[in-house]
Amino acid sequence: MPIALQEVVDTYALGGTRTDLQRDAMTAKLVGAIVSWRFKVYDVAKEDGRYRIMSELMSGSDAGAFGKFTVVAFVTPRNEQDVQSLLKLRTGSEIEVRGQVDSVTVRTALVLSPAELLY
């Protein structure tokens, strides 16, 4: 069953209504899982032959949530089309990536590595 990105954001957002037990269960479900998500790009950088794509900060949907959450996807281009697509990305561009969840960091970031662009 696919895991919705907003469900993940709501689980980890500071000030939200989720408990530590629910966050632990979500982390156990996520780490190692393959997910496909669409999000808006904040920044792209090249590191060691792969591209680090950071999403814009996302807010939880609970009324009291104040924390922000980001996705960091490490994409290794498969071909020249991927390279050109990555070079064209701008802040605010919407993309879809599929990747393996590597970790959740301090309730503020989720790392996808490896990841790939979806068209």
Q: Where are the beta strands (DSSP E) in 26-93?
A: 34-47, 50-55, 58-59, 68-75
Question: What is the domain extent for residue 52?
Answer: 5-118
**pLDDT number for residue 74:** 98
- Report the run of H or E that residue 82 belongs to, with start and end: helix 80-88
The sign of the torsion formed by the CA atoms of 86, 90, 93, 97 equals positive
For the chain, how far is it from start to end, CA to CA, in angstroms? 21
- Pairing type for strands 50-55 and 58-59 reads unpaired
Q: 27 — phi, psi (to 5°)? A: -60, -45
pLDDT digits (tens, 9 = 90+) for 40-73: 999 999 998 899 999 999 999 988 888 899 999 9
Q: How many structural domains does the chain have? A: 1
Cα–Cα dist 76/36, whole Å: 16
CATH code where residue 21 lies? 2.40.50.140
pLDDT digits (tens, 9 = 90+) for 102-114: 999 988 999 999 9
**Cα–chain center distance at 43:** 12
